[in-house]
Amino acid sequence: MLLATIMNMILIGFLTAWLVWWRRASRHIERFKEARAEMGALIGQLQEQIGVAQAEIARISQATRAALPEMQQSVARSEALLHELELVIASGERVADRIEAAARLAHVVSRPLLDEQPAPARVAARKERVEPAPEPKPVPEPAAANRPIPRKKMFRGRPTVPPTAANAHEDRPELT
């Protein structure tokens, strides 16, 4: 009988350990099912967002394909204008070089002529030059501009000037 009682106690211990293990396992399984449900919802939302993103990508690529010829035309026009501007700049530089060379030549040619003039002719040429106009004298500011502006006078608690955005910052009593 003692052996039967010991065997029963061992069986009860194993059964209790098995019940504890089963309870823990069932809690883990429940948590796993909840996590799996959350993951399924997350995957569903992700699939929706992927569908929206694919639609937007298709829309953008279609808009890009539609705008591509116009962009290519704009680039071609820009390149043509760039080439034309380069030609204008090059011809402007050539014209400037010619003008500079002509000015140097005129200066070299005219210098001996001035030296060949008699002294009285040079003096007369200097007298004919126009004198620059004298600089205008500064006008003094009136003394009233330097005085501070007085504050608006108050009459019976009311301002003499109606409040505006310009004078709203001034201290005024509340009107009731």
In the chain, domain spans: 2-115
Per-residue pLDDT reduced to its tens digit, 102-118: 888 877 666 555 555 55
pLDDT at residue number 63: 92
Two tokens at 86? 């380069």
Nearest Cα neighbor of 166 from 144, 149, 147, 141 is 149
165: pLDDT confidence band, cut at 50, 70 and 90? low
- On the question of pLDDT at 155 being above 50, the answer is no
pLDDT of residue 103: 85
Tokens for 95, please give them. 């014209």
pLDDT over 90 at 122, yes or no = no
Alpha carbons 112 and 47: distance in angstroms, whole number: 93
Residue 162 pLDDT level (bands cut at 50, 70, 90): low
Read off the pLDDT of each residue in 53-57 and give the average, rounded to a whole number.
95
The answer to whether 161 and 167 are in contact (CB under 8 A) is yes
Terminal Cα-to-Cα distance of the chain (whole angstroms)? 106
The reported pLDDT for the residue numbered 58 is 95
